[in-house]
Structure 1
C-alpha cells in the first residue's frame, strides 16, 4: 500500500483549494487507502478528489448566509462552489464500486 508523498499531499490540497488544511495528512492518507483499488493512478487521484469534495460539501450544507448591520456574509456560496464535485461522481464510481 503506497502512501502519499509530501509533494502529493501539497498537490491534492492545491487541486481542491484546501488552503486552510481542512484535512490532516492522516485523513488524506486514509482516503488514499480507500481508493487503492482504482484501475489506474489517474482514476485513483480523481476518486480521491471526489471523496474530498463530497466531505467538504457535506460540511458546507451547515453554512448559512447572514447579515449583521452593513456586513453580509454569503456562506451559501461555499456550497455552490463545492457542487462542482458532481463532475467527479462518474470517476469515483469506477474507483469505488458499490
Structure 2
C-alpha cells in the first residue's frame, strides 16, 4: 500500500436534526447536519435512500439539481422538497474552507 497524504482530519461537534414530512404524493425522512465544514452548507441526508447533498437556500432554486441529487423522477416532487427546505434551511454566509 502506498503512502497517503492526509488532506484534513477535523473533529467537530455538530447539530443534527431529523425531520419527516409528507406531501400529497410522497413521504420524506431527512437528516440535516449543521456544520462549519463544507463552506457552511448543511449536509442533507435522505434516510430512506442514503443519498445526500450539501444544500443552502440558493441551491433550492435549482430543481434539476435536487432531482439529480436525490434521484427524484417527478419535477413536482422535487419542487415540493425545495419548498419545504426553503423554510427550514438557515441562510448562512459563505465561509472560506481553506485558509
TM-score category (smaller protein): 0.3 to 0.5
Structure (1/2) with the larger strand percentage: 2
Structure (1/2) with the larger helix percentage: 1
Q: TM-score by structure 1 length?
A: 0.33
Greater RCO structure (CA 8 Å; 6+ sep): 1
Q: TM-score by structure 2 length?
A: 0.33
